[in-house]
């Protein structure tokens, strides 16, 4: 997933965050450890709701993992390809140096990923994201 997070300690007040999340019932969490060992990145945490998750954060790590996994993906191929593009853009520049046209392109990529996923209760619209990123006139 690609998220825009509010952040008080940055010049724009927001940051982008790229994350790969794999979830599994805690009773059957062993495959997540196997995946983590094979990819050699990420961390595993047990949630209070009986689920265990493997999370991989960071533009470079997410991009590298997705590039490795892309030939084997069947259901999330579109999201992975789009997230790879976004991570490449975000690896090159910090949020304060990204031109507005590039931020608009990143919003388009974020929305493309969001639209390919199952319905989410907390979807942000294009207008919401443009407002958050200061892209409205």
pLDDT in tens, 60-88: 999 999 999 999 999 999 999 999 999 99
Domain limits, the chain: 2-132
Pick the CATH number of 2-132 from 3.90.1520.10, 3.40.1280.10, 3.40.1350.10, 3.10.28.10: 3.10.28.10
Element (H, E) at 44: strand 43-46
> CA–CA separation, 80 vs 1, rounded Å?
9
Q: What is the pTM of this model?
A: 0.86
Q: Which residues are bridge partners to 51 per DSSP?
A: 25
For residue 94, pLDDT over 80 is answered with no
Cβ pair 76, 43 in contact under 8 A:
no
Phi first, then psi, for residue 77 (nearest 5°) are -60, -45
pLDDT tens string 8-61? 766 678 889 999 999 999 999 999 999 999 999 999 999 999 999 999 999 999
Distances (CA, A) of 116 to 12, 80, 119: 28, 10, 9
């Amino acid at each position: 997933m690609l998220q825009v997070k509010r952040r008080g300690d940055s010049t724009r007040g927001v940051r982008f965050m790229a994350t790969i999340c794999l979830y599994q019932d805690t009773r059957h969490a062993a495959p997540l450890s196997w995946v983590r060992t094979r990819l050699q990145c990420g961390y595993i945490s047990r949630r209070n709701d009986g689920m265990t998750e493997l999370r991989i954060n960071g533009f470079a790590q997410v991009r590298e993992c997705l590039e490795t996994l892309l030939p084997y993906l069947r259901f999330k191929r579109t999201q992975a390809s789009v997230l790879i593009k976004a991570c490449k853009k975000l690896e090159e520049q910090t949020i304060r140096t990204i031109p507005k046209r590039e931020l608009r392109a990143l919003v388009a990529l974020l929305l493309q990923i969001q639209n390919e996923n199952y319905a989410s209760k907390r979807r942000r619209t294009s207008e919401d994201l443009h407002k958050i990123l200061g892209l409205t006139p």
